[in-house]
Structure 1
Amino acid sequence: MMTEKKVWIVEDEAIIAMDLKKRLQAMGYTVLGISGYAEDAIEKVRQYTPDLVMMDIILKGEMDGITAAEIIRRELNIPVVYLTAYDDERTVQRAEETEPFGYIVKPFEEQNLRMVIEIALYRELEKELEFFAREVNQYAQDLQDTAALLSFSNRKLTVISEITLHDILNKIMTIQGCLDLASDKKVDSELAGYLDEMHQAVTDIQKLISFTRKYEKLGAEKRTWVPVSGIITTISDDRLPIRNHCSSLSIYADPMLAMVFANLMDNTIRHAEGATEVNLNCETTDDGLLIIWEDDGTGIPEDQKEKIFEKGSGEGTGFGLFLAREILSLSGITTHETGIPGKGARFEIMVPNGAWRIESGKE
């Protein structure tokens, strides 16, 4: 039996109504109240919204139980079980048109009473589940349609972007060729200075286009397990050795994770004056795994620790560390610079639990 369900009784015979109330309470149902007239029943049901209405078909007053049941079902969608001592064909036909959830014939038999109520409540639950299932299916279809539309739009934008960037690069190559030819000519120092600025501007444009192409790929591929050792091997530089103490580590992240460490390495080579090596360490915490990229160079001033992650910061295009943080954020990974100025730079990368693992069989 479904317990703690609320019932409203509509019965104009007081003795019958009280007997029914006691039976229902003994079965574990909560009887919110009793109405003897259809009009009163409708108002009370609107006010208290029970789970089930038990409605006598024949009631005193201008409105009978069938009409009241029709209003309750239409306006409130609350299931109705009829109480009746009549079984004539015309009455049954009228009652059926209101889609009742069952009939209980007077005088009541407890077994029949229990069975009809439980079936009525079960049927109502089924209808609710069917409704929610339709809603969920429609929502899923809407999401699928939206995803397909976004995918199509993204493909179009990618194609347009590739064509545009390709054409721009072709024009830049033409400008670069003309500048090279002009540089071979004998020109005064002022014009030579202008040519140098144009060369630099063209170089910066090429770097910006390169960044744009890389940034477009963010989130384009599904996350995957990326071994850190493989990344370190590809970015190793004879000028600045990397001591990898996280050789067995894999991170569940965007495939562009390699670019994060490549940008860290490029940043270290460019700015870590006097550095002789880079150490890559790992520490487990309650929140996840802390990956530490640390050099022994001059470090980063306190007022620059967040600015270095901003677009346009530093030399070149100034997008290296900005891009690194963006790539990590796609996988819920954060990064900050926490080194002591004068004692080297220290980049801390926090990988949440579930997004890192130590490969078995490796040290």
Structure 2
Amino acid sequence: MAKATVVVLFGGRSSEHGVSCVTAGGVLAAIDRDRWDVIAVGITEQGRWVHVSDDPAQWQIVDGAMPTIDESGDTVLLPHHAGEKRWRVIAPDSKVRDLADVDVVFPLLHGPWGEDGTVQGALELLDVRYVGSGVLASAAGMDKQFMKAAFRDAGLPVTPDVTLLRGDDVAERMDDVRALGLPLFVKPARAGSSMGISKVTDLANLPAAIAAAIEHDPKVLIEQSVAGREIETAVLETPDGPVASMPSEIITGGDHEFYDFEAKYLDEDAVVLRMADDLDADTSANVRDIALRAFRAVGAEGLARSDVFLAEDGTVTVNEINTMPGFTPTSQYPRMWAAGGVGFEELVATMLATAMARPLGLR
């Protein structure tokens, strides 16, 4: 049987560029090269699409430094029109040459200009199949304001919050902010990997926290804190429909008050990631059901990770859904499936098979 060709697309213009590269390293190592011809395409921090190495070893964290896409690769040209499969590159001598006939794209982009529906829209325009959620679900999953609106509409419990738009006068919203109580979490509305998030225990520190979030996004979310446990569940679309893994738990320690960027990726001793196998059967089933309901609420496809808070009284509150979770060495998504007997290679194979079987156009 002839091999199909997959483009693994990663990097991007967001602040999660390096995380995306590490995620790509994990996926590149897991793809069955006997079944797939693999083309690696990186998007530089300036937004240029370039042909890069498909060697997983090139996309790892080394001495605390994240990998990046440099500008030296040949520029990649997308197809000229819908239905064309041929991707091309511009070589250093300015000549255009064929790269490959592409069957499917695995877009491993995190953050704006990639995970938020923008790349998905470009691929939809060209009738290119791809792994993961479509335009609307990706956009809703990226924008926490509209994500919560979708969850509320589906009857899911969410954390109370105040959304600040560009140009809003914070002073005019302070009554709403005070009503949330302390502590608060201040975060960019459209960022991931805990970029720009601050925990506020004194309202005097609120302006600085808002300023830190605005560095990543002019839209800012101020959320009520939930005392309790942070539980994650992985969702995978299969031929029989989406299924949920057993839940896992994030326990943050050391000098980290919450699951911030350094705890996630750079400080190996800061976080314990373990299966939440001490949950009683009813609570575990409820968490998994909520993960599937959140998946359906935003219209997700392919895969997602659902994050909830489990309060001390047993109440479950949805924090967010991530439509393209990480596949780094510390990422929980593959770990949760591995604990249930589904290896990383099988996960990747399922996601690619689902994308290949998905119809083009409106679904």
**TM-score of Structure 1 vs Structure 2, range by shorter chain:** under 0.3
Greater percentage in helix: 1
**TM-score, normalised via structure 2 length:** 0.27
**TM-score, normalised via structure 1 length:** 0.27
